[in-house]
Structures are given as structure tokens and as C-alpha cells.
Chains A and B, each alone.
Chain A
Amino acid sequence: MSLQSKTASRTTALGPSVGEVVERFELEKAWLVDPVSGREGPGEIVVTDGVLESVVWLEGEEASGVTDKGVVVAPGFFDLHAHFREPGFEDAETVATGAAAAAHGGYTTVAMMPNTSPALDEPGVLERIRSAARASGSPVEVLAYGAVSADRAGEQLSAMGELADAGVIGYSDDGAPVRTAKLLRSALLYAGMLGLPVVEHAEDLELTASAEANEGYVASILGLAGWPTAGEVNAVSRDLAVLADALRDEPRARLHLTHLSTTASLDLVRRAKAAGLPVTCDVTPHHLALADEWIAGARRWSWEALGPDGTSRDPWADEALTAWPYDTSLRVNPPLRTPVDAAACLAALLDGTASAVVTDHAPHTVVDKEVEFGMASNGISGIETALGVLIALVDSCRLPLARAIAALTTAPAAIVAGWPALAATAAARKRGLTEGAPADLVVFDRADRWTVTEESLRSKGKNSPFIGRELSGRVLLTIAGGRLAYEDPKGGDE
């Protein structure tokens, strides 16, 4: 049996099905990426009884022919931001389908947002999610945030202490910002006391009321109501000011700003970090790789839409509109921005301002998406395409492969390690290729292209802008905690 590659070869069988301990798995002549040691190169791994028994780095003659363009082995990915919709919206996703989708995307650990119904604002909801995760049989570890406010209503705090005792990894009213600065201050203080962060969706709801797309050239032409940059910048300013204030009373207060999308808001975080504020942030694959011109029908990567002077190119002038406009799979919050903003997201990723990439995986039903653009639910089903999008960036020579892997592994773990109550927990553990530890890894073929289709997505949410398109980086195998999470059906055929 061998993997789909000219060089790498698998010599032994896995455990028979998802959830079972991987008894024996050997991979020869693959490209290993270990973001903990910072090392990458040709190598071999052996997994025995769920343990990563050996990691061998090959040199000289043995390594010949093995490049970073073929089969790659990396630690299992960690998504700090996903929506699994259970309880309440099981038509869109369940913990089981979400975990299957995650494993297909190479993820072994996922943090779920609490905008379920009922909201995850008391421990009973967390218990439901955990029992669904256990029942799924998937070894993908499902973590969760609790809501900041009761019922995410922005009025009073959720059962924060009880949620902490039950094991949430932080608090967020994601989908919306914490409604008032006053409540955010309380939340930062109380969560800080508990050693946990507030994860903030930064949006000034007044400025974005009824918004449909990024305010700018594309929205102007398409007649879509604009979501201005100021809507995010204003919210980030507020959040940073409140954090600085809260820190005087509670030094353990932590703020994480998720899915930042604009040049100006990332600049604010860059300066705040330089000033020593305990703030972190992340960016999404879609804000890195897509731009608002996709809504008009463009289908080129954001970096292909940048002019030589660093400004956004005009898709009308370029005659780059090749798809039907107003595709609701592109309606997302925050909205797809300009190619210049996408480049700023990449710059932030490269300079560490936003070290982690999160998917903001937001599955929706056809009922919620096959409607008029302005009536469609916000969100992209993205946990299965995140790797492919990052590989496109790597292939364009804008992001080193090791940095892409780090953004999916060690960077999110390092963010969690900065949250005092979690510093010593498994979620904060360094995600490397460590001999003797339970195998937690992904094997993918960087060169192997796969077509994103409704059938190929394990998620119930088919709201992907990549449907019908090819992505590189087919995931061949995902092992989570020593157990089989995903195996490419083609992988064992030959």
C-alpha cells in the first residue's frame, strides 16, 4: 500500500476505521515539518499503538528525491474558531459532521463558538456538546468557548465561573461583538480573574447596520450596502481601550480579536502588542486569499488582484469577471475586503501580529443560503478548504510552508498558552512531531489537487465559494490523539 506520491510510501496498514487506535503506520520518504523544533526536511515516521514511535530525519542519498512539493507530514491542526451548530441548528452542522469535516481538513483540535441555541452560556450546554463529541466516535478534540453574556444578549454576564469549572477555554459573543464597552470591561475582569480570555468579534453594529459587502468600489458598482472599514477599526479601538483599562485592576485579563480583516485594525493590534498589551488576533483563509471582487464574479486569488504598486486591480478593467455575481457563499462577516486588505492580513501573519489562522467555519443550510444576497446568512463553510487555500499562498511563494503549518499548529497553541488558566493544559501543548507522544498529525500531498464538491465536503454546510474549483494539498490521513480521524478513500487502494 502506498500513498499517492512518487516518493513517499506507506508500508503498513492503519487501524480499520475512524476512532480506532492506529496500531501501526509507517511512512517513508516524506517531507516532515516540525514547527516546534523549526525543522523541516525529508524524513520517515512510525506510529505504533497510537504513539509516534519514531521520527527519522533523512540525509544524503536517503533523502534524494524528497521535496516539500510532495507528501508532507505535519502536526495535527488546531482551529481556534469554528461553528458546529449543535445544539439548535443541526440542519446546518452537528458536532459529529463538524468533527468529520475538521479531520478531512487536517484538524485534530477545534474550538467551537457558543452561538448555538440555546447559547453555550451555562454548563449543561457544554455537557451536551461533549456527549455528542463522544457519541460521534471521532477522535477530533472538540473544545468550546462559553458565551460572554447570558443568551448572548449583551445584557448580563453568562455563568462564567461555572463554565470555567466545566472547562470552556474562554468567552465570546461571536457572531456579534460584546454589546457595550461596559459589559466588555466586566467580562475582561471576570474572565481575567478566571484566567481565561474574551474572544471578540470586532464590529461596530451601528456602522454596519444592514451592510451587505465591504464598503468600496465593488459594493458601489453592485449596489450593495457597505460594511465600512471603520466598523472594524472602531470596535478594535474600543476593545483595546477597555483592555488597557481592565488590566489595571486585573493583570490576567486577556483579549483575543478574531477574524480581523482590515489594514487599519491590524495596525492597531500591531501597535498595541508593541506597547505590551496582552492582546492576540487571528485571520481567516478567506480574508487572506479572497477579495470583495469575487462577489462581482472574479475568481482570482487576492494576490493576483494586486497591482505592481500594491493597490487593488480593477476586475472590470481586467475583464476578470468570469463567474455569476452575487454568490451568497461569499456573504460573510466581516465581509471579504479589498486585495490590499488581504495583503495586510498576510503581512500581519508574516510579522506575527496575527500569528494564527482560524477557519471561522460557518456552515449553513441551503434554506439560509439559496436566497437573495442581502438576505443570506453570513458565513463560509471553510474547515475543509483552509489547508488548500494556504497551500495556494505557499505555492505563490508568499508564505513559507513552515509558516503556514505553524499558523495552523504552534501559533494557536501559543495563543492558548498565553491564557493563564490554560497554560498547563493539553490545548496549550506544543504541537510538534514529538517522539513518544500520542500521534497527532496530518499527512497531505501538497501537489495532489482535489475538486471541492458538495459530495467531497464532509460538512453539512455546502456554502463554500470553492465548490467546483480545484485546490492543492489533498489530506491523505489525519491521526488525532493516536486514533484514526480521517483517511483518504483513495489512499489505500494502490
Chain B
Amino acid sequence: MNVETEPAAVGRTAGSARTQEVAWHHRHLLDVDVVTWPEIELIMRTTDEMKGVLARPIRKVPALNGRRVTTLFYEASTRTRVSFETAARNLSADVVSVATATSSVTKGESLVDTIRTLEALGAEILVMRHSVSGAPYLAAEIFGGHVLNGGDGWHAHPTQALLDLYTMRQHLAGGDLRGRKVAIVGDILHSRVARSNIWSLTAAGADLWLCGPATLLRGMDRWATAWDGGAIPGHGRFHVTSDVDAAVRDADVVMALRIQRERMQGGLLPSLREYAARFGLNAERVSLAKPEAIVMHPGPMNEGIEIAPDVATSGRAVITEQVANGVAVRMALLYLLAGAHEAAGGHEAAHEAVHVREAARAPEAIR
């Protein structure tokens, strides 16, 4: 393999003085909670390489040539599925796309049977989206290949958190989140994006603020309190508030989360109008943030509700960059996971490795 076709010589080149060299040994990526900080740095560096690929006239390398990636989506999604499939094709993988509406899932086939069937059909890397929290963990227990979580219930959306982190680092001086204020505003309770971001941003040393109406923050204060004393190895504290101005003030990053209409039927919100007025990111609110602050949204957006249209299209918004970076991050993860299999000495060793949670080591500054 030559340098032109190989996106990154990760794990084999000498590490820089700042970052300890680390090999990727996770068989699956189910959440960022078990990914150590050096591993996150590795993902970020690999993503840099993938960005380089995407900058070429022909955005394709043969790194995963002949490898079989299957996307299994139990929940409607456009951008995540297309992003994963684009990423896989950019690496020359063969992509099979399974959407539940057209599979035998609608005939009542269990997740376990579906996964065994897909494995028998040759799936090696399974990208999965599911509405039930924890579903990819069940998949990973029975699937012989690699599982990449494309979002499960309220629990986790690791690739989103990693693309968010990558995007933030691109825009922050020095690419360093330590001490930088990140405000995430919206439906935190039901958000897998928020949960994965809690793990990755507290590992990065960011000053993380979660904000939303009390009904959509249930339980988060207890979580924040538990972590307040720096109790979790490798993770700093974070804040929870319903005071949106306090959350946004002097922020380096402001992220809005989607508000779903079901929340009104569930009695959690009086009206979308009231939400927009009290929590929506409008120009006035965003002006409380630092002048150079960026505005993010994991999509899809409800413009005029959680984010005003002029904010979404302003120079501060990096929402389309998030989408573009999503492809690169997912290329990096597919690449790392596909390589992990051999590197970790096959099925057993890799499976063993993910069963044991490692103590993540964060930048020292956050202690």
C-alpha cells in the first residue's frame, strides 16, 4: 500500500510529544463512554486524514475495498444513514442498506434473528440505528463482526458527539476545548446527542452547560451533581440549568437540539411557541455568547422553534460543516474498526477488550 491510497498510517507512526501513541483496540463503537482520551485524539487525527481524502478531486480510497458494511436503521433517518453510506463508499466498501419498512422486521422478526441473518449474508460492519436504548449492545453480543452505533433511543449517538467535537476543535484556537464553554440547549432528557456529548466534552475538559425546560432536564441535575466533585476518572463536571441566558453567556459554542412535537402531547411543554420564546436560539440570545462563538445543531432543524432562521444561516452557524465533518468522522471510525479486527488478534481478544471498561485519562488541566 502506498501513501496515496492509504489514508492514515495510524498506530504505526511515531507519536508526537503531546499525544501518546495509541492503537485502536475496540471491536465496536457503541458509545464514547469507554473511549479513552488518547483514543479520541486518534479518531480526531484519523478524521484529519479523511478530510484530506475528501479534499481530493476523487474522494475515494480503497482502504475498505471488498469489506462489507451494512446499515440497519430501525428509525427514520436521512442524514445519518446517508452520511454513513457515503463514508463507507468513500472507503470503497460494499454497502448494503436495510431499512425496516422493507425488511422482514415488519413481519415480526426479532433483532437477534435479523442480525444473524445479516451476518449470514456477509455483513462485517453493522451500522445500527434503533429507537430502544441499549439495542446495539444486544447486537454486539451476538454479531460476529463490528457494530457501530448510529444512535440508540435516548442513550447514545457517538459519531454525532465525535463530529461535534471535531467541528468545535476546528473553530477553537489551538483546537483545544479545555476551559471552553459549550452550551447545549433543548430537550436534554430525550437526547442521545446530549448524552454522548456529556461523555466526550467532559473528557475534553470543556465547561459544559446543559439547558432546557425543567420537564426536559429530568434526572440530569442528579447526574451533574454526582459528577461535580470530579468523581469519574477522566471526566470533568458539567452544569445543568433552565436559565438559557446563563447557559449561553460567554459561551464559545452554542448548540441547539431538536424539539419534537410529541413533547406537547406528553404534557412536557405548553406549546412550541412558548418554547421558542423562552429557549429558542434567537439572535439576541446568541449575542450573549462570545463574539467568535459558533452555533451548532445536530439536525434536522425546526427553524423558528429551537433555532431562529437568521441564526441558523448566520456566519456563526457551522451546521453544514457538521454534516461534512460527519462523513469524515464516520470514515475514520469505519477505518479504525475494520483495522481493529486484525490488530487486536481476532474475535476473542477484541471482544474481551470491550468487555472491560478502561479508565479514560483526560487532559490534566481539567482536574
A residues at B contact (CB < 8 Å): 212, 215-217, 219-226, 297, 314, 316-317, 319, 321-326, 328, 367, 370-375
Residue of A nearest to B155 (CB): A223
**Of B131-139, B295-303, B323-331, which stretch is located at the interface?**
B131-139
Q: Which of B110, B133, B220, B359 touches A373 (beta carbons < 8 Å)?
A: B133
Chain B min CB distance to A218 (Å): 10
Q: A325 and B134: CB pair below 8 A?
A: yes
Question: What B residues does A373 contact at CB under 8 A?
Answer: 132-135, 138
- With a cutoff of 8 Å between Cβ atoms, the chain B residues found around residue A220 in the complex are 219-220, 222-223
- Cross-chain contact A326 with B110 (CB below 8 angstroms): no
B362 on interface, CB distance cutoff 8 Å: no
Please pick, from A217, A314, A324, A328, the residue contacting B219 in the complex, using a CB distance under 8 A: A217
A216 contacts across to B, CB distance below 8 A? 219, 222
A372 touching B111 by the CB < 8 A rule?
A: yes
B179 part of interface (Cβ distance < 8 Å)? no
Q: Is the CB of B141 within 8 A of A324?
A: yes
Cβ-defined contact, A223 with B222, below 8 A: no
Cα of A325 to Cα of B223 in the assembled complex, Å: 18
Q: List A contacts of B156 (CB < 8 A).
A: 223
Q: How many A-B residue pairs have CB under 8 A?
A: 87
**Chain A contacts of B195 at CB under 8 A?**
221, 223
Q: List 23 A-B contacts (CB under 8 A).
A: A215-B219, A216-B219, A221-B195, A223-B134, A223-B152, A223-B154, A223-B156, A224-B134, A314-B226, A322-B357, A323-B355, A324-B141, A325-B137, A326-B134, A326-B138, A370-B138, A371-B112, A371-B138, A372-B134, A373-B132, A373-B133, A373-B134, A374-B133
CA distance A217 to B227 in the complex (A): 11
Residues of B contacting A372 in the complex (Cβ-Cβ under 8 angstroms): 111, 130, 132, 134-135, 138
Nearest CB on A from B361, distance (A) = 13
A212 neighbours in B (Cβ, 8 Å): 133
Known: A212-B133, A223-B152, A372-B130. A314 touches B138 (CB 8 A): no
Fill in one digit per residue for B147-183: 1 if any A CB lies within 8 Å of its CB, else 0: 0000011111000000000000000000000000000
Hey, which chain A residues are within 8 Å of B132, CB to CB? 372-375
How far is it, in angstroms, between the C-alpha of A226 and the C-alpha of B222 when the chains are bound? 13
- Footprint of A on B, CB under 8 Å? 110-112, 130, 132-135, 137-138, 141, 152-156, 192, 195, 218-220, 222-223, 226, 231-233, 355-357, 359
Do A221 and B133 contact each other (CB < 8 Å), given the known contacts A317-B231, A371-B112? no
| Complex CA–CA separation, A216 to B220 (angstroms) | 9
Among B110, B154, B231, B356, the residue within 8 A (CB) of A314 is B231
A222 contact from B110, B134, B222, B226, Cβ within 8 A = B134
Closest to A316 in B: B232
**Nearest-neighbor residue (CB-CB) of A320 within chain B:** B357
Complex alpha-carbon distance, A216 and B219, angstroms: 6
B residues within 8 A CB of A217? 219, 222-223, 226
Q: Which residues of the other chain, B, contact A370 by a CB distance below 8 angstroms?
A: 110, 112, 138
A319-B141 contact in complex given A215-B219, A220-B219, A375-B132, C-beta closer than 8 Å: no
Given A223-B133, A371-B138, 7 more pairs with CB closer than 8 A? A219-B219, A223-B195, A226-B218, A317-B226, A326-B134, A371-B112, A373-B132
B156 to chain A minimum Cβ distance, whole angstroms, is 7
The contact of A367 among B110, B130, B219, B356, by CB within 8 Å, is: B110
